[in-house]
Structure 1
């Protein structure tokens, strides 16, 4: 039976910024700011910023007023897309010959027949999550019988890994 892994990278923009500048302290809160004309809003916020109440869609000025030490960085969708493509190619070399970009914040792969090479599904998704964390990327990994189920499970929970048993989608 087909098994699909979805890797959701909810903090890809802020993770990319941290990876590009290792001098940013881990406790530094980061918010990515998008623009449309004169309107500026938060398009991404790291965990530290979210804990302080900063959220996607919030006006940039309000986020800055809410969190005095907040680092604001202009959104760069091209750099985010390039980073996701590189991450996808890296995943291709590690896990499965069928790996693809999934939207602007994820990766999907067909792992049918590959889990036994990793010690089973639990071991495989745990290893995937740990390897992404080691690369300073925040992952949520889900495995299910279909792309839609894996995609939804990776995005609908705050858990690092989700396994939907085969046949129970």
Structure 2
């Protein structure tokens, strides 16, 4: 069983104490007195960082050339496809009996998820979906890396220097 996050307060002299009775009970349930445990600092994601990211995505979407709106019809399409194209994705492959069957399977899958990328390659259909960036699914460090990768992808689409979209400059 995985130990849930338990908040501790540092009291000096190497002493960490659970931050509340709730965390004290969790520590008692998951830890054994006298055992050694490694403590790793955890930084929660900032709401401001999260809002900045989505505002930057919207800014990038607002500056897309009209010719790109077929592939990126909404800001959410842009965000998810940027994540997929930068490697923050889940992939599934379906092996088919023929290239024609792979084309039919790909055509069937595409409308199921507006945001996925479906690539039939010979007899195999590759289906890629964006990784969730929810706070539960992605910690602060991975979120920051995925944020930077997605915004750099959008800057490249717009033909502007990296960071321009995040600074809310007109692209």
Is the shorter-chain TM-score for this pair beyond 0.5, marking a shared fold? no
TM-score under structure 1 length normalisation: 0.26
Higher-Rg member (1/2)? 2
Q: Which has the higher strand share?
A: 1
